[in-house]
Amino acid sequence: MSDDAPRRYLVRTYGCQMNEHDSERIAGLLEADGMLPAESEDDADVVVLNTCCIRENADNKLYGNLGHLVPWKDARDGRQIVVSGCLAQKDREIVRERAPQVDVVLGTHNVHRAADLVADARRHGPITEILEAAVIDDHAMFPSALPARREVSFNAWVTIQIGCDNNCAFCIVPAVRGAEISRPFADIVAEVEALAADGVTEVTLLGQNVNSYGRDLQLAARRAGDTEARVRPLFADLLRAVGSVEGIRRVRYTSPHPKDMRPETFAAMAETASVCEHLHYPLQAGSDRVLAAMHRGYTAERYLERLAEARRIVPDLAVSTDIIVGFPGETDHDFERTLEVAAAAEFDDAYTFVFSPRPGTEAADMEREFVDPAVAGERFQRLRVVVERSSLQRNEARVGRFEEVLVQGPSKKDPAVTTGRTRQNKLLHFRAPHPVRPGSYAVVEVTRGAPHHLMGELVEVVAGPAHRARIPVAAG
């Protein structure tokens, strides 16, 4: 590569939607600094590993990948390795101690510095920059306030809040993401309006605890002398405002916390046509004793009551959840309660996990109460049977219905099949007599239900993509 040729970057993302959104912003910042996206590591000058630390094997995965990058870096002068995200925030100096080939380590609070740090490291050598808290600098701490390079043009993530004020015993997020900070209401609506003007038709509002959005803003207003400000979440108001933006056909959000779920949020979902009929509602456990040990702030009965209320208020609501098996001290009786609650909830989908201790969390210090891995594995399989049974039943109940899907593109397994998502966030695979462009909206008749997807036949395309087609431009 000649000295004046543009440098190329590659971003690899691990973990949640928040990490994926951070990766979009890192890519946007690097492109704003003159870099171009690389097709693969072979033609990349900079590789960014945007990390997660939720799962137990996250550390091993990162350092294994870093080991594989050593010959890649040695093969060409000037190549750089960047480690960002939650694991970088947690491990800090340890990253470069274990992997001295890394050029830049940055955390969750300084994503806005990515391009600057890459340039500084190129001039002056390796850099580790980890901030203890978000820097409130023109809201640069919010990924959505930064340039972005989205891989998909028709939908977008919008960060409404960073950090988390909860203290769940199993969760490392508060330690690596910090305290809750809500983004100003008007900034969020303005971004959604800009996205709609650019052809985006579906937005997903992101936060660690989205339904507590705005409580800190109201408290700050109250402290500043606004006697009209009530210290309450503004999430229902935000759903209505975002849902009324012209051009936005679908609004989703993730993830709420059951203890903060309020009837006004369900009402906003029901009354705002663009807000999708899907609720991700993390249960985590069905035993009140385990829920208390987790510091979740609700009982199984309260959870089911709120779930019933949501289904009563929001017609045709689909519900997904998270459940942890084998939390320290979980007994056979505790696990039976989880099976009972999962069966009663009749989830459309569930993300199930075997507990893994994360250093820095309360649960990681409960070693004497750790559940035998073989027992936890057996419980995991039993839980999967229960949740897949309800998933299959709820999907089969949709056979014969006509569903509106947002077309994603050809199926990865079979290019002759087109894939889309329903308003209930169900994956629907269908055959069409002609290609249907990604970003289109189509009506599909459901012909078969499986535990994790639907099958169907195209009825009609009701709207074409609103986004502008992207034409690759080769650097000359």
Provide the pLDDT for residue 138.
41
Coil, helix or strand for 396? helix
Identify whether residues 329 and 390 lie together within a single domain.
yes
How far apart are the C-alpha atoms of 283 and 304, rounded to whole Å? 9
For the cut 90, the answer to whether the pLDDT of residue 86 exceeds it is no
Helix locations, 352-408, DSSP H: 373-396
Q: What angle do CA 356, 157, 26 make, to 5 degrees?
A: 80
Residue 229 token pair: 């400000």
In whole angstroms, what is the distance from residue 289 CA to residue 369 CA? 14
Per-residue pLDDT, 471: 38
Instruction: Tell me: do 290 and 391 sit in the same domain.
Output: yes
Q: Kindly state whether residues 305 and 271 are assigned to the same domain.
A: no
Residue 142 lies in a domain: no
Q: How do residues 416-446 score in pLDDT, each as one tens digit?
A: 999 999 999 999 999 998 899 999 999 999 9
CA atoms within 13 A on the CB side of 449: 19
Q: Which has the minimum average pLDDT: 94-103, 168-177, 306-315, 357-366?
A: 168-177
Whether 102 contacts 95, CB under 8 Å: yes
Q: Is residue 472 part of a domain?
A: no
What is each CA distance from 266 to 202, 210, 262, in whole angstroms?
19, 14, 7
In a domain, 134, yes or no: no
Same domain, 233 and 341: no
pLDDT at 472: 39
Whole-number pLDDT of residue 56: 59
Please give the average per-residue pLDDT across 275-281, as a whole number: 98
Q: What is the CATH number of the domain that holds 262?
A: 3.30.750.210
- 234 pLDDT exceeds 90? yes
Tokens 């290609």 locate to 435
Give residue 408's domain range.
402-463
Query: What span, in angstroms and rounded, lies between the C-alpha atoms of 192 and 196?
Result: 6
Residue 174 forms part of a structural domain: yes
Q: What is the DSSP string of 410-448?
A: E-SS-TTSEEEEETT--EEEEE-SS---TT-EEEEEEEE
240 to 21, 267, 391, 423: CA distances (angstroms)? 23, 10, 30, 17
Place of tokens 């900070």: 181
Q: Which helix (H) or strand (E) holds 20?
A: helix 17-32
* In the predicted structure, residue 149 carries a pLDDT above the cut 80: no
CA distance 101 to 334: 46
Share of the chain above pLDDT 90, in %: 65
Question: Contact 177/153 with Cβ under 8 angstroms?
Answer: no
pLDDT at site 75: 93
Amino acid 30: pLDDT: 92
Q: At residue 475, does pLDDT exceed 50?
A: no
| Residues 316, 257 share a domain | no
**Does residue 212 fall inside a structural domain?**
yes
C-alpha closest to that of 185 among 206, 222, 160, 216:
160
pLDDT in tens, 87-139: 888 888 888 889 899 999 998 888 888 999 999 999 999 999 988 765 544 44
pTM of the predicted protein model: 0.80
CA–CA dist 238, 326 (Å, integer): 37
CA distance 251 to 155: 10
Q: What is the pLDDT of residue 145?
A: 52
The SS3 call for residue 128 is: strand
**Per-residue pLDDT at 229 exceeds 90:** no
Output the domain CATH number for residue 424: 2.40.50.140
- What rounded mean pLDDT belongs to the chain? 89
> DSSP 3-state helix, strand, coil percentages of the chain (rounded to 5)?
40, 20, 40
Q: Is residue 3 part of a domain?
A: no
Kindly write down the DSSP assignment for every residue of 267-312, as one continuous string. HHHHH-TTB-SEEE---B-S-HHHHHHHT-S--HHHHHHHHHHHHH
Average pLDDT over residues 260-276: 96
pLDDT one-digit tens code per residue, 445-469: 999 999 999 999 999 999 999 865 4
pLDDT confidence band for 473 (50 / 70 / 90): very low
Q: Which of 48-57, 339-348, 423-432 has the lowest mean pLDDT?
A: 48-57
CATH number of domain containing 382: 3.30.750.200
pLDDT of residue 476: 32
User: Would you call 473 exposed, middle or buried from its count of C-beta atoms within 10 A (0-12, 13-18, 19+)?
Assistant: exposed
pLDDT, residue 148, reads: 54
- Which pLDDT score, from 0 to 100, does residue 222 have? 85
For residues 173 and 229, state if they share a domain.
yes
193, pLDDT greater than 80: yes
Tally the domains of the chain: 4
What type of residue sits at position 224?
A
Is residue 140 domain-resident?
Answer: no
pLDDT at 171 > cutoff 90: no
> What is the radius of gyration, based on Cα positions, of the chain?
23
From CA 452, how far away is CA 361, in angstroms rounded? Answer: 32
Residue 1 CA to residue 168 CA, distance in Å, equals 50
292 and 267: one domain?
A: no
How far is the C-alpha of 430 from the C-alpha of 233, rounded, in Å?
40
CB neighbours of 318 closer than 8 A, spacing ≥ 6? 277, 278, 279, 348, 349, 394, 424, 425, 426
Is the domain of 13 the same as that of 106? yes
From 57-71, 290-304, 324-338, the region with the lowest mean pLDDT: 57-71
Q: Is the pLDDT of residue 256 over 80?
A: yes
Q: Residue 200: which pLDDT band, with cuts at 50, 70 and 90?
A: very high
Longest Cα–Cα distance of the chain, Å, equals 68
